[in-house]
Amino acid sequence: MAEALVSASTGAMGSLLGKLGAMLTDEYKMLKNVRGDIKFLKDELEVMNAFLLKMSDVEDADKPTKLRVTAVREMSYKIEDNIDQFMVLVVGRESCSQDTHGIKKLMDKCNSLLPEIKTRRKIAKEVKDIKNQLKEVSDRFLRYKTDESSSLPAKDKVDPRLRAVYRDATELVGIDGPRDELVKWLNEKEGESLRFVSIVGYGGLGKTTLATQIRANLGVGATFECGAFVSISRKPDMKAILRSILSQITKQDKVYSGLDDIQLLMDKIREFLQDRRYFIIIDDIWELGTWETLKCALVKNTCGSRIMITTRIVDVAKSCSPSNEDLVYEMKPLSEADSKKLFFKRIFGCEESCPDSLKEASKEILKKCGGLPLAINAISSLLATTRETKEEWDRVRHSIRSSKAKNDIIETMNYILSLSYFDLPHHLRSCILYLALFPEDALIERQRLVRRWISEGFIHGESEQDLMELGEEYFHELVNRSLIQPEEIRYDGKVGCCRVHDTILDFLIAKSAEENLCTVLKKQCKPDGIVRRLSLTGSEDEEIVEQLDLSQARSIGAFGDIKQLPSLGKSKSLRVLDLRYCNKLENHHIKDIERLYQLRYLDISLTGITELPRQIGELLYLETLITSNDLCELPESTTQLRRLARLFVGRSCKLPDRLGNLVNLQELDCINALQLKHVEELGNLTNLRKLTIYLDSDGIESNKVVQSKEKLASSLCKLDRCGLLSLSIDYYLRESDREEPFLPALGCIHEVCVYGEDIFWISRWLAALPNLHTLYLKQSKIDQQDIQMIGLIPNLLELSLGLGIDRTQRLVIRCKGFQQLQSFTVSFPRMGDLMFERGAMPRLKELELHNFQEKPKSDAGDFDFGIQYLSSLGYLDVGLLCFRSTAAEVKAAEDAFKSMAQANPNRPTLEMSRQNPNLILQDEQIDMAGSGTTQENEEVA
């Protein structure tokens, strides 16, 4: 994997070294007179880069070393900013000279000679200045003889997990349920083969505490003949771990203290465990390799032995419990009731003893803890030593985020979280710290985050590597390591969004401030130092925001009710401007945007911005442009954005001619592919990998529709041959244009969405698409023949079906179709609309019934859809439409679905929600309706 261009550890050093290398090539002819100085800069910075990489793994560096690291890292940003400024001049002049020929070229050369000489002199002076700065930094630290490897003397830190091992059971809260569940599981099927249980969850959830209580409950000596409990560090000493296991199972501490051969230690452990029933706990495994080594020492016998591991990493947990007989137990945060119990117990003894004046503050603090026992223990221990006033409690709450709180348990909490941080590879450290820019409880979309990572330079792959795919691997690795909380988990395991636990977010904000990666403004407080990446939430003091020096800022993200942005004109180093969801922003807020020559990422979606500056084409480095749905048109100059890789526009946006100039486009969403001028250009975008088109014939003459269809088929065939990976098509065709499908069965067509009633005219074409994965049928009239034809689509994985309101025929899902389908969503179903035969949809994992709109006629039998026949079903989601239903009817429907879920042998997870619960008929409404009807009948009589 290529080193990131920009990172928290090395600043802009990777990007800078790449640019210096490019400047030494023949391509940059204007720089020949300063090549010697450029080579000096490159050589010197390579040494400094190595120093930064080395220091990034020192967890407790001394003050002089931290100062040097900061100075070198900040210098890398400053040097790159200077180089970027004159590189714009170089690129501009080189491109101009390449476009001229003959006498015109000679005249242009004479006319531009004087400005070119000035540019050369300016660049030469800048390079000399940079060289002097570099020497100054190096000389300064040489004078004080700073040792690169220096760090604070090692402290005799006590492993915080030991406190969990020896904690009194009377201090614990919320552990009885998980403990009893796992003890019951561990005691099942005595006398059988070795079984495993993995406990997985992020740091501070209480995994070690739970494992310790299970060990105490089972008891070695009564239930098991021998046992051991070992904790693993990030850099484990395997000999010491094996010696500890051997000493504990044999109860002979001194005998094996000098044994130093790993194989001999394993042999002795295996020999001792061969015919014994044992219970071994391996706490906090960080990597699979450690487990693979330890597993060799743990013999598989048939005595009913058990092995329990705890880990923060999901993949490790699954690998340690590979059999269907094993268990992966996911730790959950404490419930609200247990959180309160633990919090108040440590401070007042019980909730009733809490003064009324502190209850509101307590509620806010508990919300911040988010059910994390480690955080509750830390903050409650700190509060127990402070005065019982709301002002003092608020001060403590705010001081925790700013790392000003001095408390042993708070330090322990930060230490445990830092273990996860330093276990990350360098490229993931930057990615996780970047999340400090998002507000508390924010739902962070995966693709939005990955695109921003790319524009920041955090993701840098090998040649031809897809950066979006690589970025999504990074995202899912953070989920795997339990550092971000997954939301909107799809049937295929992909996570659509994430959240960051408040306690982890506090750690990230503090750490990113320490690395000067991100700046989160606090009320009435102006930030110290240089602002590199800024987060605005609307709660900041407007005067402070206006006074900010953003001349070196690389990223600005705005959230919520932002009404005013800082002046953008001087932010010449800005790479990312993300204004998504800021619906109070208007056109004047981005009036100077064309001056941001380094801008890579611009998102104005879901804002009040309806126009882009006409000079948008001057943003030569722009890679991602996401526009508002209200944007009237893209400026003509947009076609000059030769580096643009991702373009997202609304369907009402008028597109410029010559779209084919955007030769680097990889994603385009979305374009009316029946507009003739666009279709002709589409075939030139041969680097496209993801394309969304819609086919809307409204307002287009019939003869032009015919021409467009022919050209579109030709263009799409060309793109398919050039490597188009995903084509999504939305159909809005007039009935007169719905002849036989005009598109061939292309392998790149992955998603189709059809609006309208009849689909019979397209169903045979759908069934012929070899790689169609997703199909949406909205407001469609579907009959049994259609559903059977759709069932023949060979690789269909996801189907969403919107049923019409005037249905008369039941759709039967038979056992012969939908062999690969994993997700099925049905909107507006009623009783009698749907029936699954035995063996239907054999791989279906998710079934969602939205806006279920029928009342039970008598009992649960009225609701029989055949859900019990869905053999792979793991998740059932039902949204009950409450309109004009009584509370008793809604409750009866809920009970019926619970019965259906229980009847399925796979016991799927059932989630139910009431849609429009405020419209449930109350008793008095029913009475009034009844009396009103009677009165009306009497009047008629």
Quick check: 824 and 866 in contact, CB under 8 A?
no
> In Å, what is the CA distance from 848 to each residue of 234, 652, 716, 865, 867?
42, 31, 34, 13, 12
Cα 170 from Cα 173, distance rounded (Å): 8
> In Å, what is the CA distance from 814 to each residue of 464, 789, 852?
44, 11, 22
| Percent of the chain at pLDDT exceeding 70 | 85
Quick one: pLDDT band at residue 550, thresholds 50, 70, 90? Answer: very high
Quick check: 543 and 456 in contact, CB under 8 A?
no
Quick one: pLDDT band at residue 474, thresholds 50, 70, 90? Answer: very high
Give 115-131 pLDDT, tens digit per residue: 566 667 777 777 888 88
Q: For position 742, what pLDDT does the model report?
A: 83
State whether residue 225 is helix, strand or coil.
Answer: coil
Q: Which residues contact 404 (CB under 8 A, 6 or more apart)?
A: none
Burial class (CB in 10 A: 0-12, 13-18, 19+), 846: buried
Cα 313 from Cα 466, distance rounded (Å): 26
Q: For position 852, what pLDDT does the model report?
A: 83
Query: Of the given ranges (51-55, 64-68, 193-197, 856-860), which has the lowest mean pLDDT?
Result: 856-860
Q: For position 156, what pLDDT does the model report?
A: 45
CB atoms inside a 10 Å sphere around CB 552 = 17
> In Å, what is the CA distance from 128 to each residue of 37, 137, 879?
7, 15, 68
> In Å, what is the CA distance from 284 to each residue of 199, 209, 235, 305, 501?
9, 12, 12, 20, 20
Give 659-684 pLDDT, tens digit per residue: 999 999 999 998 888 887 888 889 99
Give 894-923 pLDDT, tens digit per residue: 888 888 899 998 889 899 998 888 877 775
**Is residue 389's pLDDT more than 90?**
no
CB atoms inside a 10 Å sphere around CB 719 = 22
Q: For position 165, what pLDDT does the model report?
A: 52
- Which position has the token pair 């997870």? 909
Quick one: pLDDT band at residue 107, thresholds 50, 70, 90? Answer: very low
790-807 average pLDDT score = 86
Quick check: 607 and 629 in contact, CB under 8 A?
no
Q: For position 112, what pLDDT does the model report?
A: 46
DSSP 72-135: HHHHHHHHHHHHHHHHHHHHHHHHHHHT--HHHHHHHHHHTHHHHHHHHHHHHHHHHHHHHHHH
| Percent of the chain at pLDDT exceeding 90 | 40
- Which position has the token pair 């494992």? 211
Looking at the DSSP bridge assignments, the partners of residue 782 are none
Q: For position 243, what pLDDT does the model report?
A: 92
Give 291-340 pLDDT, tens digit per residue: 999 999 999 988 889 999 999 999 999 999 888 778 899 998 989 899 88
Quick one: pLDDT band at residue 223, thresholds 50, 70, 90? Answer: confident
Quick one: pLDDT band at residue 241, thresholds 50, 70, 90? Answer: very high
pTM, entire model: 0.85
Q: What is the 3-state secondary structure (H, E, C) of 462-491?
A: CCCCCHHHHHHHHHHHHHHCCCCEEEEECC
Cα 697 from Cα 114, distance rounded (Å): 56
Q: For position 689, what pLDDT does the model report?
A: 94
**Is residue 473's pLDDT more than 90?**
yes
Take residue 915 and report the two structure tokens written for it.
């849609």
Take residue 560 and report the two structure tokens written for it.
């919520």
Quick one: pLDDT band at residue 93, thresholds 50, 70, 90? Answer: very low
Give 711-748 pLDDT, tens digit per residue: 999 999 999 999 999 999 988 776 666 666 788 899 99
Closest by CA position to 897, among listed 925, 923, 869, 860: 860
Give 628-654 pLDDT, tens digit per residue: 999 999 999 999 999 999 999 998 899
**Is residue 101's pLDDT more than 80?**
no
Q: For position 695, what pLDDT does the model report?
A: 86
Cα 69 from Cα 53, distance rounded (Å): 10
Give 803-832 pLDDT, tens digit per residue: 766 666 788 999 989 999 999 999 888 777
Give 497-549 pLDDT, tens digit per residue: 999 998 889 899 989 998 999 998 876 667 878 999 999 988 888 888 888 88
Q: For position 149, what pLDDT does the model report?
A: 47
Query: Of the given ranges (488-492, 540-544, 590-594), which has the lowest mean pLDDT?
Result: 540-544
